[in-house]
Amino acid sequence: MPYKLISLVFLLFISIINNTYSENEFLFPVKKPSIFKKIESKITVKENKNLPQRKPTTQNKIVEEKISIQDTKTEKKVITSLKEIKVGNISFLLPQKKPVTYKISSKDIEKSSILNDKDFARAKEVIKFINAKKWNSALKSTKKIKNIEFRNLVTWMYLKTTGNSATFNDYKNFIEQHGNYPRINRIKYLAEQKIYLKNSSPTSVINWFQKNPPLGGIGKIKLAEAYLEQGKTDKVKKLIKEGWSTAVISKNDLGYYRAKFKKFITSDDHINRADFLAWERKYWDLKRMLRYLPKDERALYNARQILMSNSYGVDSAITKVPAHLKNDPGLAYDRLRWRNRRGRLEGSLEILYKNSIRTSSQMVRPDKWWEQRKSVARTLIYKKRYKTAYKIASEHSMSSGPSFAEAEWLSGWIALSFLNSPEYAINHFENFYNNVGYPISLARGAYWLGITYKTLSNSELSNKYFNEGAKFPMTYYGQLSFNEIKPGENFELIDQSFFDKDYEKEFKKNKLVNHVILLKELNATKYSKDILKHLATLNVEKGSEVLAAKLSTAVERYDFAIQISKLAPYEKRFFNKYNYPTISTPKIINKKQMPNPEVILAIIRQESEFDRKANSWAGARGMMQLMKPTAKLVAKQAKLPYSISGLTRDPEYNIKLGSYYFNSLIENYNGVYPFAIAAYNAGPNRVKTWRKVNGDPSKGQLSYVNWIELIRFKETRNYVQRVLENINTYKYILNKEPVKIDSFFN
């Protein structure tokens, strides 16, 4: 039988098995096809040949209470000396009549402002080795360099890496001499893993931990080992109990430490370790632990390990779990997750109903439970089973924390928007509002409280909360709140990028600033992010975050400047010079009018944070994060040449293609921004589905606000909201004066 036919028969067999067997016999988990490889050639609206169908990338993911910082690629724009570093290549100064396109030099720097010629040439060689992850060669070449600061920089970069060959003494010496370096706690954590009594005396280890308390479970085990050598068993017992459950231990070390501390590690300690590993989904480590567990617990954690690893014989393993452990919350959670991931809604509800009776004190890992509960609740909303969705969302058994706040918001939203129960919604929205602290969430809570009181015709309280929301004018819900109380009035933002002039002199003397400049000269700015973020925290009261953002801009890492600005205290967050860079956008391409600059800039800021070399793991490239097939199709339609390298080498080229592509989306959706923005992020097929399943706000079937909140992917929901808020902020910046938010969604 031909090979291809055999393969097809085998795949058909797998498919039949997976669709036939229940929870007990998920033999061969079939990998879902990658949606990133699809490029849609036709959809029902006009001019759609260039529209990709893709799931949002994690690069665009913004969590409600935390701003995730993406890893970025290196810039190759260069300078010839520190004096030539200028901000003017991108227009950050307000006012400006037009955004200024920044230019990129293709020439390497021949002279450094910090290193002599010999050291600079060798430093370039070192960076090449580091880029290739050839650390032994990099360290060898570094020894030839006389500049001690560069050698410290390379050592710091090396010690941050995992799996290196540095000794504990290497770590110890660096930490003692350079304790003020960025990410020093990570270096201390890695140092703990390098401690071996064959190379260090028990006294030296104890002295180390007295100055640097253990940061991880392995550190506590190493300290316990040192005390054991000195016969201080009372201290060993406490440390080993604390460290054993959470330590990251290799297979060989597991056996070694178990034998070493056999007198101190009890069955309960093994059970606690197994439970930790199970909740952290470290199923290979959990599998290694099974042999050390009592018989009953071995059956329990074997079932959990099989569930989380999609292995054969799920029901058989569950059947072997003793009756007194059948209701273990961890086992229930793993069964829920297993069913939910396979779309088994009724089976998921069965488990949730059984576990809804747990009180807050009885809950184990409520954050984990909430993620599954939230997923089921949203599925029920999409199926229009609103009462059940409310029951699942509201019976979360939590009383505090980020998951509690999110659960309360979702419960309030369901009650107000789908059950017409504003009285119920108020309590939930108040719980949300009183348990968050970030501007995005505060504005969100205030807006929904305002809308709820407006529904109840309580203008006094609705205006009160809309005014509270409007205090955060750079946020999506802050701008919506502003429109509720001041429709048609001017929207204004005040730049607060101030810093102490005397402190600036002190800031510039910091050796870490020289590291940033040198990395720029070496074409290695991607290694400067940790340094810049550290510099931002040194003296916030005197404006260290502003100066760090300014330095990021000077070395042409506009993405790092944006990230620092986002992390700054909100009262100083509107650094329009650094947080909202501008760049020229095309007006006309192939005789077509392109979107307004504020729209394109808003997308660029969200997609790549103005990193021209940005590459997502899915293959999206450049400032506007274009997939290669999409770029090729758009180039053809726009009558532009197609260049893969140009997507990251030439920002102007990337922006032209991205602008033309987004313009086609706007045309396809008759100027409705939420549809176009969601399609840019998640693909037009999904937007088509969401309009069909959730309703179409352009036809008055529901509000745009609710349509956006109904978007299936959290990444895309947040993406659409962030781009919309960016549009209005950029509109203000580009107009150099207060503006009206006259059309929020169109």
Residue 109 banded pLDDT, cuts 50, 70, 90: confident
Question: What distance in Å separates the CA atoms of residue 573 and residue 32, rounded to the nearest whole number?
Answer: 41
Q: Mapping DSSP to helix (H, G, I), strand (E, B) and coil, where does residue 627 land? A: coil
Distances (CA, A) of 632 to 358, 645, 647: 55, 12, 10
- Kindly state the helix (H) or strand (E) to which residue 593 belongs, with its residue range: strand 592-593
- C-alpha closest to that of 537 among 66, 181, 82, 75: 181
Per the domain annotation, does 576 fall within a domain?
no
**Which token pair is 144?**
């030839």
Per the domain annotation, does 182 fall within a domain?
yes
Write the CB contacts of 375 (distance below 8 Å, at least 6 apart in sequence).
340
- Kindly state the helix (H) or strand (E) to which residue 592 belongs, with its residue range: strand 592-593
Residue found by looking up tokens 């230019």 in the block:
103
Please say whether the beta carbons of 598 and 582 come within 8 A: no
Per the domain annotation, does 155 fall within a domain?
yes
Kindly report, residue by residue over 349-389, the tens digit of the pLDDT.
Answer: 999 999 876 666 677 899 999 999 999 999 999 999 999 99
Mean pLDDT for the chain overall: 87
Per the domain annotation, does 479 fall within a domain?
no
**Which token pair is 507?**
């800031």
Q: What is the 3-state secondary structure (H, E, C) of 56-81?
A: CCHHHCCCCCCCCCCCCCCCCCCCCC
Question: What distance in Å separates the CA atoms of residue 407 and residue 96, rounded to the nearest whole number?
Answer: 44
The count of other CB atoms within 10 Å of the CB of residue 585 is 22
Distances (CA, A) of 332 to 300, 336, 368, 441: 11, 6, 12, 31
Domain extent, residue 22, equals: 3-31
Question: What distance in Å separates the CA atoms of residue 515 and residue 501, rounded to the nearest whole number?
Answer: 22
**Per-residue pLDDT, 575:** 73
**Residue 27 and residue 132 share a domain:** no
**Residue 210 and residue 65 share a domain:** no
**Per-residue pLDDT, 548:** 96
Per the domain annotation, does 206 fall within a domain?
yes
**Which token pair is 114?**
């910090």
Residue 493 banded pLDDT, cuts 50, 70, 90: confident
Output the CA torsion 131→136→137→143 (10° steps).
Answer: 110
**Per-residue pLDDT, 24:** 34
End-to-end CA separation in angstroms for the chain: 59
State percent of the chain over pLDDT 90.
78
Residues in a beta bridge with 415: none
Q: Mapping DSSP to helix (H, G, I), strand (E, B) and coil, where does residue 375 land? A: helix
What is the average per-residue pLDDT within 31-39?
32
Distances (CA, A) of 623 to 62, 106, 600, 655, 698: 18, 18, 10, 7, 30
- C-alpha closest to that of 589 among 537, 632, 646, 652: 652
Give 731's DSSP letter.
H
Residue at which a domain ends, from 295, 320, 350: 295
Residue type, 598: E
Per residue in 559-575, is it b (16+ CB within 10 Å) or e — as a string?
Answer: bbbbbbbbbbebebbbb
**Per-residue pLDDT, 716:** 98
Please say whether the beta carbons of 123 and 138 come within 8 A: no
- C-alpha closest to that of 85 among 61, 113, 107: 113
Question: What distance in Å separates the CA atoms of residue 498 and residue 504, rounded to the nearest whole number?
Answer: 11
Measured in residues, the chain has a length of 746
- Whether 392 shows a pLDDT value over 70: the answer reads yes
Distances (CA, A) of 48 to 472, 500, 535: 37, 52, 46
Q: What is the 3-state secondary structure (H, E, C) of 495-507?
A: CCCCCCHHHHHHH
**Per-residue pLDDT, 90:** 35
Question: What distance in Å separates the CA atoms of residue 717 and residue 374, rounded to the nearest whole number?
Answer: 15
Q: Is 163 left (phi over 0), alpha (psi -120 to 50) or beta?
A: left
- C-alpha closest to that of 328 among 349, 310, 350, 303: 303
Distances (CA, A) of 561 to 77, 186, 594: 16, 23, 28
What is the average per-residue pLDDT within 190-216?
96
Q: Mapping DSSP to helix (H, G, I), strand (E, B) and coil, where does residue 605 land? A: helix
**Which token pair is 415?**
């009650």
Q: What is the 3-state secondary structure (H, E, C) of 401-464?
A: CHHHHHHHHHHHHHHHHCCCCHHHHHHHHHHHHCCCCCHHHHHHHHHHHHHHHHHCCCHHHHHH
Question: What distance in Å separates the CA atoms of residue 116 and residue 102, rounded to the nearest whole number?
Answer: 29
Here the CATH number for the domain that contains residue 132 is: 1.25.40
**Residue 272 and residue 202 share a domain:** yes
Per the domain annotation, does 214 fall within a domain?
yes
Please say whether the beta carbons of 349 and 64 come within 8 A: no
Kindly report, residue by residue over 517-568, the tens digit of the pLDDT.
Answer: 999 999 999 999 999 999 999 999 999 999 999 999 999 999 999 999 988 7
**Residue 683 and residue 590 share a domain:** yes
**Residue 722 and residue 620 share a domain:** yes
Here the CATH number for the domain that contains residue 614 is: 1.10.530.10
Please say whether the beta carbons of 244 and 272 come within 8 A: yes
**Per-residue pLDDT, 416:** 99
Residue 96 banded pLDDT, cuts 50, 70, 90: very low
What is the average per-residue pLDDT within 479-484?
95
Question: What distance in Å separates the CA atoms of residue 365 and residue 358, rounded to the nearest whole number?
Answer: 12
Least confident of 39-48, 108-117, 338-347, 736-745: 39-48
**Residue 63 and residue 17 share a domain:** no
CA angle (595, 599, 601) in 5-degree steps: 115
**Per-residue pLDDT, 357:** 66
**Per-residue pLDDT, 104:** 54
**Per-residue pLDDT, 249:** 92
Residue at which a domain ends, from 243, 263, 295: 295
**Residue 143 and residue 209 share a domain:** yes
- Kindly state the helix (H) or strand (E) to which residue 664 belongs, with its residue range: helix 651-668
User: Which phi and psi (to 5°) does residue 535 adopt?
Assistant: -60, -35
Residues in a beta bridge with 615: 621
**Per-residue pLDDT, 31:** 33
**Residue 732 and residue 608 share a domain:** yes
**Residue 231 and residue 128 share a domain:** yes
**Residue 282 and residue 135 share a domain:** yes
The count of other CB atoms within 10 Å of the CB of residue 198 is 4
**Residue 65 and residue 25 share a domain:** no
**Per-residue pLDDT, 37:** 32
- Whether 624 shows a pLDDT value over 80: the answer reads yes
Question: What distance in Å separates the CA atoms of residue 596 and residue 208, rounded to the nearest whole number?
Answer: 59
User: Which phi and psi (to 5°) does residue 490 adopt?
Assistant: -75, 140
**Residue 263 and residue 192 share a domain:** yes
Per the domain annotation, does 455 fall within a domain?
no
**Per-residue pLDDT, 572:** 62
- C-alpha closest to that of 309 among 274, 282, 346, 328: 282
Q: How many structural domains comprise the chain?
A: 3
**Per-residue pLDDT, 576:** 78
Per the domain annotation, does 132 fall within a domain?
yes
Residue at which a domain ends, from 267, 295, 323: 295
**Per-residue pLDDT, 102:** 45
Kindly report, residue by residue over 45-74, the tens digit of the pLDDT.
Answer: 333 433 444 444 443 333 333 323 233 333
